[in-house]
Structure formats: C-alpha cells, structure tokens
Amino acid sequence: MALILLPSLLAAEAGGRKQFELDVETVGEALRALPVANLLLDEQGELRRLVNVYVDGADVRFADGLETQLTPTANVRVVAAVAGG
Amino acid sequence: MAVQLSVGTRKGLFLFRGEPGSGAWELEGPLLSGWSVYHALVDPRDGTLYAATNNWAYGGTFHRSNDLGQTWERTEQLGLPEESGLKLAATWHVEPGQEEGTLWLGGDPGVLFRSDDGGATWKVNDGILSHPTRDRWQPGAGGMCCHSIQVSDGSLYVGISAAGAFRSDDGGDSWAPINSNVAAEFQPETYPEVGQCVHKLLAHPNQSERLWQQNHCGVYRSDDRGDSWERLDGNGLPSGFGFPLALDANDPDVAYVIPEESAENRVTSDGRLGVYRTADGGASWELWSDGLPDQAWAAVLREGFGSDAQGLYFGTQSGSVWAAPHSGGWMEAARDLPPILSVEASEWP
C-alpha cells in the first residue's frame, strides 16, 4: 500500500487525516482517491501549478507526472510550493 | 439586537459580535486558517455561514458552515468546463438567491456559478461564460473577477472588472450589458458597450430600479435598472476613484464611499481615512470622519464595507475594523488583523 502524506491545511480539509494508505498504481490514482482531490488537481484533472508531489523524495514533474508508477511501499508526499506571503 | 460581523482576511475568517457605537466586540477566530477569505456572509434565510475561499497553492473554492464556523464543508465540485478553455482562478463573492437553497458565486475569470443545494454543487452560468462580448473583456489588477452579484425584484445583476455591468431578466439565461454613460477612460474608446471597470455594484434593497456603482472612473447612480447612469463625482468627493460602496436600506438617496487618491496612488484621499456620505442621491457629498484618524494612508477593498439597520462597518488592508451607528462617530472594533478583504454584517440574536 502506498502511503500518502498531506500538509496540515489539506489534512484539515480531509477531516483531520494526515496520512492515507492506498492500493493504487499511479500518482494520479492516488491523488484522485483523496478527499482533497479538487484542491490538488484543477477542473481538467491537471496537477495545480503550485502543488508539488514527491515519490520517495523525487519530484513527479521530473518523472511521469500523474502517470508516475507507485511501488507497494511508495511514500508520496504532497507539498505546497515555496510561494505566497 | 447585536450584530455579527463576518470579516474575511488574507489569513482566515474572523467573527465579531457587538454593537456599533460600543468599543467592546467579542472576537472569534481565525477560522478557515490558511485560506484567504475573499467574501463571507451569513445567509439571512437560515443562518448558514458561507465563504469564498482561496489559497495560492490549492486554488479557489467555497466553504459553508451550519454551526457558525465550528465545522465546515467544502464543495468538491466547482470548476469550468474543459471546452471553455478556461480554469477557475479564484472565487470572489457569494450571494443568496431568491429561491430556497439557491446561491450565486462569482469568480475569476469573469464567471458566475449557481447552486440549488446550498453550495454543495455548482453549475457554471453559460450566459456569462459564453457572453458574446467576452473577447472584449480585459482583466484588471485584481484579475477578471465577478465580484458583485445582486438579486433584485426578479432581475439579476453582476459587476465584473474590467468587463462591466450586466443585467439578466430571465433568471440568468441571457445578460445585457448595462454600461451606457459609464466611462472607461483607460481605453481608446471612452464609452464602449463593455469593458468598463466596475469596482462595486449595488441595487437598493427597497427601490429596485435604483442602482449604484463605484467604478474605476467615478461614482454612478442609475434610476432605471442600469439602462442609463449619472456620474456623481465632484460636489464634495475628493476623488472619483475607490472600491467600496454601502447603501442605507431605509433611504435610497443615501450612499457611502471611501475614495482613494487615484488609480495610480491607491491610498485614502488627502492622507485621511474618510467615509463620504450623500443624502441627496449623489448631488452632494460630505465627509464623515468623526473618530477616524486624520492621518492615514489606508485602503479599503471592494468587499470591505458592510451596512445593516444598525450601522456601518469597514475593514482596512492594514487590519483595522471600524464601526459606527448611522448617526454617531466611528470606533475601532479591532486592529492588527491580517489584511481585510471583506466585511459583512448580520443580526446576532
């Protein structure tokens, strides 16, 4: 089961849950299964520009994006980009 | 009867309970931590608290609470159809509709949504999304936001900057531009059909033909539902530029604005924080500043000015909330909040 880790604002929007264990094959499947999917993906299903997703420490934008494959022990961390004010 | 102020800020929502003219306000918040609350209000029909919420990473969305902010639900279905080629950039304003459960939600890029289930699900308004003049709309500094929505005597009005004002007499199926006599001095053509930069548009709640708008290029009043407008600046107003606007439900000739020096220098006119009031339909304006600081280079955003039967209330970008009864002086209800984006008043039993 892949482990998905959320930052605090998203955890609050997910009913207080910071972690989800999901039986999924890709990053896209994992994000779409979360109760905060619409905060991570826009209305066309694309990863929002300032949302970063790391699989075992590697940015999925430098892999296959939402199609990046997940191993059964993958650690998926969602992080808001360093921006804002 | 006490008042509840719903104060949206760049860093969450604050609720104040008290009375205008009293210095003691009970504060609750911040609620919705991490969200910029562009607009929030209590639905007078059932007491539900709504918020147009935005986050720089997670986009624009909508929250509602049935227990005055103790718990929240977020809509999971809000966006623009793929064939439009547009994406929702932000949510700006929520307005209760006429039918039970109906809500309207305005957003950027110049879009309007309708919900018939109290905000759980939303459907984009095709009349605005596919408006035949959309290719002539240009975003302003705040984006192309649908920030004003008025439901009045069977008609709907929206104000979109910098697209103009529009009226629908068929429930939102079709929209007519209502920008006649309204200047767009930043364009080659001063009086185009669309493209005017409305900053705030309000319909008088008890005289439905009368509309007011604070525009990028002046303050205007209409007595024929927007078919024509009269420009009202001068006669006591230090500047025609500003954003917020408030009305008096009991007197359609009364309006309030908080002018800024100019489009190029967006601070309070003459270096003072002043509310300007007209009691004669805009023919003349008087400064109402009793209790407000004489030296202040503040700014009040388009949603930052609220009114009700008891008084008026506004919040500044520098984090102060001011309140006054309709006749009396201003008192600071709070200071040092995050930059204030919106202020709405509702009854607090």
Three state DSSP letters for B59-113: EEEEEEECCCCCCCEECCCCCCCHHHCCCCCEEEEEEECCCCCCEEEEEECCEEE
- Quick check: A73 contacting B, CB < 8 Å? no
Six token digits for residue B281: 């339909």
Mutate to test the interface with A, among B13, B58, B62, B76 (most CBs of A within 10 A): B58
- pLDDT attached to residue B77: 86
Residue B336 has pLDDT above 70, yes or no: yes
Does some domain include residue A71? yes
Contacts of A37 in chain B (CB under 8 A): 76
Contact between B59 and A39 using a beta-carbon 8 Å cutoff: yes
When pLDDT is cut at 50, 70 and 90, the band that residue B284 belongs to is very high
Cβ <8 Å between A84 and B56: yes
* Full-model pTM: 0.96
> What pLDDT was estimated at residue B239?
94
C-alpha B148/C-alpha B140 separation (Å) is 15
Q: Are B127 and B175 contacting, i.e. CB atoms less than 8 angstroms apart?
A: yes
d(C-alpha B22, C-alpha B294), whole Å: 21
Distance CA(B306)–CA(B343), nearest Å, equals 6
Show me where the domains of chain B are located: 1-74
Peptide bond into B96 cis (omega under 30): no
Distance (Å) from the alpha carbon of B247 to chain A's nearest alpha carbon: 34
CA-nearest residue of chain B to A40? Answer: B58
CA dihedral for B263, B267, B269, B275, sign (positive or negative): positive
Residue A22 placed within a domain: yes
Pick the residue from chain A with its C-alpha nearest to B60: A39
- Structural domain count, chain A: 1
Q: What range defines the domain where residue A42 resides?
A: 2-80
Complex ipTM tops 0.90: yes
Q: Do B80 and A43 touch (CB under 8 A)?
A: yes
**Looking at the predicted structure, is the pLDDT value of residue B163 above 90?**
yes
Q: Of the candidates B286, B275, B189, B173, which has an alpha carbon nearest to the alpha carbon of residue B235?
A: B286
* Average pLDDT score over chain B: 95
Residue A39 lies in a domain: yes
Domain membership flag for residue A48:
yes
| The token pair that represents B109 in the structure block | 């890029």
Q: What is the pLDDT of residues B315-334, one digit of tens each?
A: 999 999 999 999 889 999 99
- For residue A12, the surrounding DSSP H or E stretch is helix A8-13
DSSP B150-211: EEETTEEEEEEETTEEEEESSTTS--EE--TT---TTSSSSS-SS---EEEEEE-TT-TT-E
Q: Cβ–Cβ of B34/A12 closer than 8 Å?
A: yes
Q: How close, in Å, is residue A21 to chain B by CA atoms?
A: 21
Q: Is A5 on the interface with B (CB under 8 A)?
A: no
In sequence order, the β-bridge partners of residue B221 are B212, B230
Task: Establish if A85 belongs to a structural domain.
Answer: no
| Kind of pairing between the strands at B176-177 and B164-168 | antiparallel
Residues B38-84 pLDDT 10s: 999 999 999 999 999 999 999 999 999 999 999 999 998 899 999 99
Least confident of B195-204, B251-260, B263-272, B323-332: B263-272
The verdict on residue A70 lying in a domain is: yes
Percent of chain B past pLDDT 90, that is, above it, reads 89
Where is A30: in which H helix or E strand? helix A27-32
At A85, is the pLDDT very low, low, confident or very high (cuts 50, 70, 90)? low
